[in-house]
Structure 1
Amino acid sequence: MSIPHLFRCPISLDLFTDPVTLSTGQTYDRPSIEKWLADGNLTCPVTMQRLHDTTLVPNHTLRHLIDQWLLAGPDLSSRQKPTKPIADCGLSLSALKHNLQSPSAARAAKLEALEKVRVLSVESDIGQACLIQLGFFPLLLQLLFQAPRRGDSELMQLALDCVLTLSPSTQLDSLNMLKNEIHLASLVALLDQGNPKIKTGLCHLLEAIAASPVTQELCVIMGQTRRVLQVLVSLLRDKSDARAAEAAARAISAICSLEANRGNAIKEGVVDGLIAYLSLNSAQRSASRALAALELLLGLEAGKKAAMEDLNAVQVLVKLVFRVSSDQEGSEHAVGSLLILCCDSARVRMEAVNAGVLVQLLLLLQAQCSSRAKTEARALLKLLRSMWSEDTGGRNFHNAV
């Protein structure tokens, strides 16, 4: 379906999602013109007139026309050129929306509608823009986080797939509906009792919530919800599903990026969970993020205490000091975590030396690693110097430092 010229933003050339008008009379999509102004431009992109007033006025008339065009336009769910208007088309966007909204719609009709939405959002940029413009994203969230029905895992999974497909392209403030206790309880139930794909998808959604500025308050709520953290920790320890464990590691890392969440994360066993995850998944792409989250938690006294009480912590971190990969951040966080633990405990220093940390640090210093990793490696070597006997190896160690 071709978009009429007047319905395209002059900057992005995409369908308007939130048309706003400048003092020059030119209309742009809000995200595009806000980025233009944020980059320091003080002119109208089309007329190049200097802007003495950068007020953005919503263009309600144009938005209404676009909505009417979408509802009266051709069927976007078909690859072939349609011959019927949307009002007559059984698979039209309005029909899809009706089937998803209607409490009386049959389960089979909802499944068919969700499948069409998923295909449209994946295969067509225009279709994705239309779905967002017509309010499908909050509708899908309502469908997903209504009180879970037993035996509806297929419907829930398909709804979640659609949410995840649309979420990178839409305003995530709709997710703030999860502040509602009923919807939050539904998310927890799905995270706890859903199939592995649902659990993995919800972890990705939690990661998106933590990353967006408009859902920071919601992220704090997630970080203070005991059951959310407990389920994520259990997924970290799950040896049967590596994908769900990796998604949980990314979600926990994102949640712990907010300082307000770290104390509660430690209380709910996240430190032990991350160590258990790293002991089994050190080669996973998310290992660096898990290490970064662990280092942040060790910055708190309670986190440091939890790691010292974990019998595997030092050994796991030592093995990750020199990672034979292109990932330098993992080594940084492993050395940083060991430095925190070794500073206050002779027992931990001895344990690290017995686990082979000196060789690992020397290898790291000879490798192509970041300046931060080298600085912390040298600091840790100096801290451990007293544990090294004065033999030939000791002289080599002294020279390296």
Structure 2
Amino acid sequence: MEKNVSLSSNLWLLKKKRRASRVRVLMPEVYISAESLLQALIALAHQVMSCQKPPGCQRRNAVSITRKVKVLSVLFEEVRDLGISLPPSALNSFRELFIVLQKTKYLLEDCSSDGSCVWLFLHALEISNQFYGLIHDMAFALDMLPLKLLDVSDEVREQVELLHHQAKRAKLFVGQAEEKLGRDVSAVLDEFEKEIAPDESRLRRILDGLNIENAMDCQRETELLEEEIRNQKELRSEKNLSLINTLIAFMRYCKCVLFWMDFDPQFQLSSRTQSSGFSVDAYPIPEDFRCPISLDLMQEPVIVCTGQTYDLASITRWIKEGHSTCPKSGQKLVHTNLTPNYALQSLIVEYCAEHKISLEKSERIKKSSFSEGIPSTKAAIQAAKLTAEFLVERLCTRSFGVKKRAAYELRLLAKFGMDNRACIAEAGAIPLLVPLLSSKDPKAQENAVTALLNLSIYESNKTRIMESGALLQIIRVVRSGCSMEARENAAATLFSISSVDKYKKLIGESPEAVPALIDLLRDGTARGKRDAANALFHLSAFHGNDLQVVAAGAVPLLVNLLTDERPDLVDDAISVLALLSRQFEGLIAINEASGIPLFISLLRSASSSPKSKENSVAILLALCCHTGAEIVNMLLRMPSVMPCLYSLLTSGTPRARKKATSLLRILHNWVPSQSPQNMVVSQNQNPVTSVM
């Protein structure tokens, strides 16, 4: 039993890695003075006693162990005040008690309202075992304590001896109500698995036991379960991940079915909004809190070997794409180990708590959801299916407020998991969301277009969206949506849909699509400009669309973005320019926009990404080959060009090295009297393929 309790306790304590503000107090070293040890014990005991007691699950165990710690605190204070020299056995006992108190503190914090209630109830036996194990560890530590040698008062000695006796005789306690609630939750999940809709009265009893009284409580519990997924990912527990995913589906179902009527449709419903109604954008987010890659508020800041900090999801994706340099500094990554930046995460958590900002994930197609890749249970899929069917029924009503609320809930449901996206589409939601795109209500339009964006991540849904006739409405939202967020998410939807080759052509044939994206490229936020640039990139990959993008005036805007301080925005802009440089008209526009000095600047900069340098040299090569002697002469007059190209030969990507070699050959073999006409390729010919 003792071994099992220890393992369980370690597993539970690892869960709290997410709390960046926590500084683990390690066991005092052998050389620590008795006075310092006593001071640390007293401080830790008071921290344990001040821990918030859980409102329901484990309250009796929490109160019991806190009372025992209170007795120990009296002992520690009296020994300190006596100032006596502690014998070695007493020092060993106090060191063991220090570890017990440390674990007790963490366990009490985990059982407070800080964690998921339903997860605690499902693990009632396991957690009770942890309390039981800690009390027996306390008894073991007191076995070594020579009370008679400490010269404490009779009253204190009697209290400690009684505590010692009680701790040795302590028994495992598991509350009957807690066990029953856990069984009820398991029974409901079994009903979902059997494709049976649970009885609403039973669901209400379960939620009453969890102290969940309204839709916002349900949302809060869902967020806590989502946080638990991140903790369990660290522990690599596939079984727990699937179970938590199922519980999330259960809570979403309860939120919609049980609390539909007590939700205010006029509530703030931004993708950057959390339960309190405050938006991330309502307060200026410090730049140090934003990931240099995604520009989003960092969820899990990590440090790479160059000392730069990025969000875990963004830098992981960067490395998986084959990059071997630091995105911000351009330095080579000598290894890819990522170190959690707990200090920064603590500051972010405190800032968000102060300003009531949620740390929920961004609804961006380019940013993977924490739940993606977790195997879905049959129960989770059935719960999502029933939730989707419930919401689609509400979309069919005549009430605009009900439709608006349903669109929001579908937006949330589609945000996480391919199974959810499939269930929503199969329930018939997509055609019913399309009319809301033309709504004059900003939130209704925003919810509808964002729901479609989230749904479009599932490959089959791209076809469903196109067949629903949504394309024209999405394009109009890009151009003149009621809010900037609606416009940005509509552009991201075009980017998602245009990943299918046949839809590149259809989108390009719409006369409003490219101009709308270019308007957003000019007027949007940093995120909106990225969405527009990415959509233009996909569209420009189809022959004919690229000429349309050039003719619509995209090149000067893209060239201007090359001076932006955000590396991702620069990468996106130059990727589009590289595609446009395949056409003679694109090269002329790039030259007229004075882009050459900026390409050279990107080649020189240590902070430029390999992608930017690759595309820069490709565009310069295309300009030299297809626009005449003027460009070659200009490059020869720039003293920094040759060193940059030679540097690429050793540090660039394979394609960058190839392009640099070709460009160096042209520059070395250039004869100043050479006729410009000999260097120009007919406009009907294809220039050298650029690098993307």
- Give TM-score, length-normalised by structure 2: 0.39
Match of 1:197 among 485, 489, 502: 485
Inter-partner Cα distance in structure 1 for 2:540 and 2:585: 14
Match of 1:304 among 559, 565, 587: 587
Tell me, yes or no, if the aligned pair for 1:229 and 1:265 is still in contact at 8 Å: yes
Q: Which residue does the alignment assign to 2:624?
A: 342
Q: CA deviation at 1:204?
A: 1.1
Match of 2:442 among 153, 164, 174: 153
Inter-partner Cα distance in structure 1 for 2:578 and 2:494: 21
Tell me, yes or no, if the aligned pair for 1:121 and 1:131 is still in contact at 8 Å: yes
Tell me, yes or no, if the aligned pair for 2:491 and 2:531 is still in contact at 8 Å: yes
Q: CA deviation at 1:127?
A: 4.6
Matched, 1:176 2:466: yes
Letter in 2 for 1:330: S
Letter in 1 for 2:538: A
Matched, 1:118 2:397: no
Summarize the Cα distance change of 1:322–1:349 in structure 2 as closer, same or farther, 3 Å threshold: same
Inter-partner Cα distance in structure 2 for 1:156 and 1:5: 37
Q: CA deviation at 1:249?
A: 0.8
Q: Which residue does the alignment assign to 1:319?
A: 601
Tell me, yes or no, if the aligned pair for 2:578 and 2:619 is still in contact at 8 Å: yes
Higher relative contact order (CA 8 A, sep 6+): 2
Q: Which residue does the alignment assign to 2:567?
A: 284
Corresponding pairs, count:
301
**Higher mean C-alpha deviation, range 379-388 or range 152-161:** 379-388
Q: Which residue does the alignment assign to 1:44?
A: none
Letter in 1 for 2:484: P
Q: CA deviation at 1:201?
A: 0.7
Match of 1:330 among 602, 607, 612: 612
Match of 1:164 among 445, 453, 458: 453
Q: CA deviation at 1:255?
A: 0.7
Letter in 1 for 2:465: L
Tell me, yes or no, if the aligned pair for 1:291 and 1:333 is still in contact at 8 Å: yes
Matched, 1:359 2:643: yes
SS of alignment partner, residue 490 of structure 2: helix
Summarize the Cα distance change of 1:144–1:218 in structure 2 as closer, same or farther, 3 Å threshold: farther
Q: Deviations over 1:205-242 (max 9, x none)?
A: 11111112xxx33321222333321222232233x611
Tell me, yes or no, if the aligned pair for 1:246 and 1:286 is still in contact at 8 Å: yes
Letter in 2 for 1:165: N
SS of alignment partner, residue 457 of structure 2: helix
Inter-partner Cα distance in structure 1 for 2:586 and 2:455: 37
Q: Which residue does the alignment assign to 1:134?
A: 427
Match of 2:665 among 379, 382, 395: 382
Inter-partner Cα distance in structure 1 for 2:559 and 2:499: 23
Tell me, yes or no, if the aligned pair for 2:650 and 2:657 is still in contact at 8 Å: no
Summarize the Cα distance change of 1:276–1:233 in structure 2 as closer, same or farther, 3 Å threshold: farther
Q: CA deviation at 1:79?
A: 5.7
Tell me, yes or no, if the aligned pair for 2:520 and 2:528 is still in contact at 8 Å: yes
**Aligned ranges for residues 2-401 of structure 1 at < 5 Å?**
2=190, 3-4=192-193, 77-78=253-254, 93-102=388-397, 104-105=398-399, 107-122=400-415, 127-140=420-433, 142-145=434-437, 148-150=438-440, 152-169=441-458, 171=460, 172-177=462-467, 180=469, 183-194=470-481, 195-212=483-500, 216-238=501-523, 241-280=525-564, 283-310=566-593, 312-325=594-607, 327-343=609-625, 344-355=627-638, 356-367=640-651, 369-385=652-668
Tell me, yes or no, if the aligned pair for 1:339 and 1:376 is still in contact at 8 Å: yes
Inter-partner Cα distance in structure 1 for 2:410 and 2:621: 51
Summarize the Cα distance change of 1:92–1:244 in structure 2 as closer, same or farther, 3 Å threshold: closer
Summarize the Cα distance change of 1:159–1:384 in structure 2 as closer, same or farther, 3 Å threshold: same
Tell me, yes or no, if the aligned pair for 1:232 and 1:248 is still in contact at 8 Å: yes
SS of alignment partner, residue 377 of structure 1: helix
The 4+ residue runs of structure 1 with deviation greater than 4 A are 79-83, 91-95, 123-129, 386-389
Summarize the Cα distance change of 1:332–1:97 in structure 2 as closer, same or farther, 3 Å threshold: same
- RMSD of aligned residue pairs (Cα, Å): 3.4
Inter-partner Cα distance in structure 2 for 1:81 and 1:177: 30
Inter-partner Cα distance in structure 2 for 1:388 and 1:286: 38
Letter in 2 for 1:174: R
Identity of aligned residues (%): 22
Inter-partner Cα distance in structure 1 for 2:562 and 2:608: 18
Tell me, yes or no, if the aligned pair for 1:315 and 1:352 is still in contact at 8 Å: no
SS of alignment partner, residue 567 of structure 2: coil
Summarize the Cα distance change of 1:284–1:177 in structure 2 as closer, same or farther, 3 Å threshold: farther
Inter-partner Cα distance in structure 2 for 1:6 and 1:97: 18
Summarize the Cα distance change of 1:349–1:218 in structure 2 as closer, same or farther, 3 Å threshold: same
Letter in 2 for 1:143: P
Q: CA deviation at 1:259?
A: 1.9
Structure 1 segments unaligned to the other structure (5+ residues): 8-73, 84-90, 390-401
